[in-house]
A = this chain, B = another copy of it.
Amino acid sequence: MKTIAENINVMSKSIGAAMKDRDPGPIQEMAKRCTEAGADLLDINLGPARKDGPEMMEWVVNTVQEVSDLQLCLDTSNHEAMEAGIQACKKPPLLNSFSAQPDKMEDILPLAAKYDCEIIGLTMSTHIPIDTDERIAIAYEIVAAANELGIPNERIWIDPIILPIGVEVGQAHAVAVQEVLKMLPEVFDPPVQTTCGLSNTSNGAPDELRSAIDRAFLPMLAACGLTSAIVNACDPEMMRTVRLINALRNESLYSVSDAELK
């Protein structure tokens, strides 16, 4: 399975300040760290990016690309910032993300089609259904709308949406996510990709317990067929878990170093 590093995020105190001050140091250091840790893609999360969105996104993309060749995953609700980011990318990025609401789909899908981007579609519209079949029905809507614009299944990453385990009905949602992942390969041919915001599992738990919760869930999702996850690439135990998952799915040749903390 692939990993998308969640770490270049405006919500992070040091990264957010560096973005605002256009200080490349902390951002490039983080990009290098995630790349060396074995991430397959780097998420660049600018949030709403209301102020200077396009200019900031272009600057961050260029700043990251100076130190890493990894594919980028662009994460902002600012349409102009998204397009500026795509244009700055050396290779077509993954666009993160949109729900199955008409205005959200009209915002992202034409951009993805125009620039040959991959996309992350969330199995939610105005609300997140607890029901597995409803999540699958929404995935249908997303895939149909994307296909209509010429975006093939292989470039669509469905995110069945993880809620914090500690919130009400969070556990039922955790089961639904597993069920959706098991069903998706039977529903779409060729299959779609899948991903999830893994850290959301432990959102609200004490900081020192979060990694353990996420590391228990990721192998479960992997066994259900998950093809990628957005993870904390700065957590060596998390990246070790990913290496071991890949060995235990027989997707990479196991060596004892896969079990080591790096």
Contact = CB atoms under 8 A, between A and B. Distances in A.
Interface in A231-262: 237, 240-241, 244-245, 247-250, 253-254, 256, 259-260
A216 B219 contact: yes
Contacts of A205: 256, 259
Given A216-B248, A223-B178, A244-B217, A165 B209 contact: no
Interface stretch (A14-22, A77-85, A112-120, A168-176): A168-176
A153 B256 CA distance: 39
A259 B212 contact: yes
Interface residues of A, number: 38
Stoichiometry (number of copies): 2
Interface of A: 165-166, 170-172, 174-175, 178, 202, 205-206, 209, 212-213, 215-224, 237, 240-241, 244-245, 247-250, 253-254, 256, 259-260
Q: Give the interface SS of chain A, mostly helix, strand, loop or mixed.
A: helix
A216 B243 CA distance: 9
Contacts of A213: 244, 259
7 contacts: A175-B250, A202-B259, A205-B259, A206-B256, A215-B215, A216-B219, A216-B248
Contact of A220 (B171, B222, B253): B222
A220 B221 CA distance: 8
Given A205-B259, A213-B244, A221-B223, A254 B172 contact: no
Nearest to A217: B248
B217 A250 contact: no
Contact of A219 (B170, B219, B249, B256): B219
A220 B219 contact: yes
Nearest to A201: B248
B178 A254 contact: no
A237 B241 CA distance: 14
Interface centre among A165, A166, A241, A244 (most CB of B within 10 A): A244
